[in-house]
Amino acid sequence: MEGPTSTGIPHRKLAMWTFIGSECMLFGTLIATYMIYRGRNLVGPYPDELLNIPFITVTTFVLLMSSLMMVLALSAVQRGDAKGTRIWLFMTPLFGLIFLGGQYYEFNHFVHEGLPLSKNLFSSTFFVLTGTHGAHVAGGVLWLGTLWLRAMGGKLDARHTETVEIAGLYWHFVDVVWIVLFTLIYLLV
């Protein structure tokens, strides 16, 4: 039923941009809370004793590379390149999964080092902020993985450019949020 739209932007793409605007407020609130409570822990462990910057730099690099994969996937879909579509739509969520694996390892490591969720202000704000981001990554992995399965079944071609583009918008947004988190949590520790 969707014909030409008043703005010229397809409904779904405009909706994704709108949703991303709303998500900025969500992450903005979480980040503001983290920053307000930074350095106000009354008990340890403290962030500088636990945060492993080299390790997270590697997983951050993997997540950023997944954005590159996403660009390549969209380009392949646009060109009607079925093989490239399958490869890059597989690689994008795979890199996302590697990032999530790193986060799982990090959370586990922190708990073993004596920082369960309920330990102090750092544990509360850190786990909820990065956990919310991780949940967004997981949602994106599920979405892109579904698109990959569609591509494997031969049901995703140049007609679905918009679908892949919108998934890409979400994925890049989640990556951009991580760049902010990486800077504020790890680099500024």
Q: Of these, 59, 66, 103, 120, which contacts other proteins (CB under 8 A)? A: 120
Q: Does 111 bind other proteins (CB under 8 A)?
A: no
Q: Which is nearer to other proteins, 13 or 62 (CB)?
A: 13
Of 57, 39, 89, 68, which is closest to residue 189 (Cα–Cα)? 39
Contacts of 36 by beta carbon, 8 Å cutoff, 6+ apart: none
Contacts of 70 by beta carbon, 8 Å cutoff, 6+ apart: 88, 92, 144, 167, 168, 171, 172
Q: Of these, 66, 85, 123, 130, which contacts other proteins (CB under 8 A)? A: 123
Q: Of these, 35, 36, 180, 188, which contacts other proteins (CB under 8 A)? A: 36
- Residues 69 and 100: their CA atoms lie apart, in Å, by 17
- Residues 102 and 58: their CA atoms lie apart, in Å, by 9
Q: Does 48 bind other proteins (CB under 8 A)?
A: no
- Residues 128 and 137: their CA atoms lie apart, in Å, by 14
Stretch that binds other proteins, among 49-57, 74-82, 85-93, 112-120 (CB under 8 A): 112-120
Question: Which amino acid does the sequence have at 129?
Answer: L
Q: Does 117 bind other proteins (CB under 8 A)?
A: yes
Where does this chain bind other proteins (CB under 8 A)? 1, 5-7, 9, 11, 14-15, 18-19, 21-23, 25-26, 28-30, 33, 36-37, 40-43, 117-118, 120-121, 123-125, 128, 132, 146
